[in-house]
Amino acid sequence: MTPLALETKGSVLVVGATSPIARAAAAEFARQGYAVILAARDKDELDRIAADLRIRSRVEVTLLPYDADLKGSGTRLAEIALELEPPLAGAVWVVGDLGDQERAQEDVTHAKAIVRRNFTGAIDVFTPIANAFEARGAGFLIAVGSVAGDRGRAKNYVYGAAKAALHAFMSGMRQRLDRKGVRVRVVKPGFVDTAMTFAMGPLPLLASPDKVGQAVARAATGKKDEIYTPGPWRWIMLIIRHLPERVFKKTNI
Amino acid sequence: MKPLDNKRPGRAVDQLESWGRYPRVPARLFRPERMRDFHAGEGPSLARGLGRSYGDAALLTDGDVVLSERLDRCLEFNPEAGVLRAEAGLSLDALIRAFVPQGWFVPVTPGTAFCTLGGCVAANVHGKNHHRDGSFRQGVTSLEMLSADGSVRDLTPADGDDFEFAFGGMGLTGMIREVELQLRPITTSMMMVKHSVAGNLPELMAQMDDEARDDHYSVAWVDLLARGERAGRGVLMTGHHAEINELPMRYAAHPETLLTDRPGRARPFPFEAPTWLLSPGNLRLFNSMYHKWQGRKGTFFTPLRTFFHPLDAIRNWNRMYGKPGFVQYQFVVPFESGREAVTEAISRLNAAQASSFLAVLKRMGASDGGPLSFPMPGYTLALDIPLREGVIDLLNNLDALVADHGGRVYLAKDSALRPDTFRRMYPDWERFVNHKRQVDPDGRWQSDLARRLELV
């Protein structure tokens, strides 16, 4: 609809694009001058979000299907995204699903689905893109993790374990690729005001998805490798991570 | 992807309140993030936007209240014609932010931008241009509505009552999912405003009726506390969207700033005010200063936001009225008996010492929308009344006066009207009830307002 400026900064792939965090991140990338590629399974929602971005942010939007539960979906997504014009400048993993911890304790299939949606899906998407970025010597990869990945808690340890694995995966890629000019970032939100937390009632340090989405998009250019959002979570998690296990196991944190 | 954990229980709240903070009721809240999840709950349900109605229109005791705020996507926009199709949860604030820089403004806006398109339809809101442009209905070309039977219908004026009754329908005829709106073209984001002082109510009304003084937007502030010869003194504020050639050179020198939206940072009202803050003495002092200060301004230029939504600059200004909350009372009476009715209402308010410093008087134009739509030709007066003992009796007393004069109160602000008086004010109420029975036979869409007025 609006003609794209001839000089673009390239495009950014947002995976899991129908979440409120992803939507805000996409709008922020658009504001920074990137074209955006939105990938998700829910076609109706994807169309609505794309229309909104085109109208409000006046940005070029490409839609691609992605389903973390389908074998090969992530690899195919990465291949297509790498061939699109303008060339891919970065990729963001915003897929996440808290699942049902109690069910995961009984039902291993459910536990594995949680891991797939929070972690192993990212391997499929990021691996080919990371290799392309490495060869090119430029690009950024951002994953939305969680403070829940900083320490396993009884309330959500399957989710937490998947997020912890995601953090470690990104950290390893960072050590490998940072020297090649590829920025690898992790954004760890605390409680975000979305459907995931809405029923829980008022929560401490509750962040709006807009704020978190903006933090995600700004991570691409910022200096920090790991970003806690809102900021105070860095200190809260510092304390929680350092509680001795013999103390931690007796708490209900 | 469908979430793995699909049981979304909603949030139970003890004290759901709207802008007047009275009444407060228990309810279950849902806040869907996908359009397909925007539907009724298990039992009686009600869609709610940003909760800026004052009374119980957006409350449903022990029911399922479905918030539209996350469904706020712009879906289609024709930049030549200025026609926008968006989801019902889009706020006027977001709309203005996105479209003023592109040279488009909302056709009608109430005194706050923190309201949703769906809410604007449901209350058929009006603004300072009602005498010229009518209510929100006039800007809307199409609606998408979820009916009680689960069907989704695209409605246009050709659909007759199904379309029209949504305007002022208070959300009781169906859930509004999408709204198509004809925006208003503007060449600058500044308003050219004129303030003129009137020494008393007859003078103020005469100024307001004077066509030579009239402008696209017109509203008057009234000092309800002034007595004797000065009773009803006020300031008439008229204005229009400034054209580029009207602006002083200092604006024109920076063409890139001609169409900008500067909402500014909303400052919070810092505390729940103690009740003495709004004592009659303090208010009288404030009104005196305000009358002088505003009257002195003459003709000037001001940004859109300052002209249309001055109170939006203070977040939670409703806390000013302290813990008990307040009611906003707004009525309209036909021109014929307007002066008499307004004078009598002001004197009854004064006798009851129901102090208020924000009283607004305006001429309204033709009616439109459904049978419960508020606006009708006449004078409308709106004022805040802090909630105290006896206020509800006072309101019922005023309701009778308004009904006797062939007028009505604004349901989006009401929390005290009784069903018998309501029926006198809205003589077509039966058409609405019949329509509702037809489109919603099981009474799926309800609200505390609907229950109080015996509409369900």
- Cβ neighbours of residue B124 closer than 8 Å, sequence gap 6 or more: B135, B136, B137, B167, B168, B368, B369, B370, B373, B374, B375
CA B91 to chain CA centroid, Å, is 13
Answer whether B358's CB lies under 8 Å from B384's CB. Answer: yes
Facing residues of B286 across strands? Answer: none
**DSSP count for chain B of H helices, then E strands:** 13, 21
* Three-state secondary structure call for residue A142: strand
Residue B1 has pLDDT above 60, yes or no: no
Helix (H) or strand (E) holding B339: helix B335-351
Measured between beta carbons, the chain A residues lying within 8 angstroms of B35 are 44-45, 48
How far does the CA of residue A231 sit from the closest CA of chain B (Å)?
21
- Cβ neighbours of residue A80 closer than 8 Å, sequence gap 6 or more: A64
* Three-state secondary structure call for residue A193: coil
Looking at residue B357, its pLDDT comes to 63
With CB atoms and an 8 Å threshold, state whether A42 touches B3: no
Is B74 at the interface with chain A, CB within 8 A? yes
Looking at residue B386, its pLDDT comes to 87
CATH class in words for A11-248: alpha beta
ipTM of the complex: 0.93
**Spatial CA neighbour of B77 closest among B101, B97, B116, B104:** B104
With CB atoms and an 8 Å threshold, state whether B87 touches A48: yes
* Three-state secondary structure call for residue B300: strand
With CB atoms and an 8 Å threshold, state whether A199 touches B8: yes
A157 catalytic? Reply is: no
Give the span between the Cα atoms of B416 and B396, in whole angstroms: 7
pLDDT category at B379 given cuts 50, 70, 90 is very high
Chain A CA closest to residue B9: A199
Q: Provide the Cα torsion B436, B437, B442, B443; round to 10°.
A: 40
With CB atoms and an 8 Å threshold, state whether B1 touches A20: no
Average pLDDT, rounded, for chain B: 92
Give the span between the Cα atoms of A73 and A92, in whole angstroms: 16
What domains are there in chain B, each with its CATH number? 74-186 (3.30.465.10), 190-422 (3.30.70.2520)
Between A52-66, A115-129, B154-168, B269-283, the lowest mean confidence (pLDDT) is in B269-283
How is residue A39 written in tokens?
């990938």
Residue B5 has pLDDT above 60, yes or no: no
With CB atoms and an 8 Å threshold, state whether A56 touches B87: no
Chain A contact residues (CB < 8 Å to B):
18-20, 40-42, 44-45, 48-49, 51-52, 55-56, 67-69, 95, 97-100, 103, 110, 113-114, 117, 194-195, 198-201
Is B31 at the interface with chain A, CB within 8 A? yes
Burial A218-232 (b: 16+ CB within 10 A, else e): bbbeeeeeebbbbee
Chain B CA closest to residue A95: B1
Give the span between the Cα atoms of B109 and B29, in whole angstroms: 27
Q: How far from B25 is each of B56, B258, B260, B329, CA to CA, in Å? A: 9, 46, 40, 21
Looking at residue B72, its pLDDT comes to 98
Looking at residue A6, its pLDDT comes to 47
Out of A34, A66, A157, A159, pick the active-site residue: A159
pTM score: 0.94
pLDDT tens figures, B307-321:
999 889 888 888 888
Chain A CA closest to residue B84: A55
With CB atoms and an 8 Å threshold, state whether A100 touches B5: yes
**Residue of B6 and A17 predicted with greater confidence:** A17
Looking at residue A2, its pLDDT comes to 44
Give the span between the Cα atoms of B100 and B4, in whole angstroms: 41
pLDDT tens figures, B183-207:
999 999 999 999 999 999 999 999 9
Residue of A41, A48, A107, A115 to mutate, testing the B interface (most B Cβ within 10 Å of its Cβ): A48
Looking at residue B315, its pLDDT comes to 83
How far does the CA of residue A253 sit from the closest CA of chain B (Å)?
22
Task: Fill in the DSSP letter of residue B285.
Answer: H
- In chain A (253 residues long), the average pLDDT of successive 10-residue segments reads 59 97 97 96 98 95 97 97 96 96 97 97 98 98 98 97 98 98 98 92 92 97 96 96 96 90
User: What share of chain B in percent tops pLDDT 70?
Assistant: 96
* Three-state secondary structure call for residue B3: coil
Within 10 angstroms of residue B286's Cβ, the number of other Cβ atoms is 14
Looking at residue A3, its pLDDT comes to 45
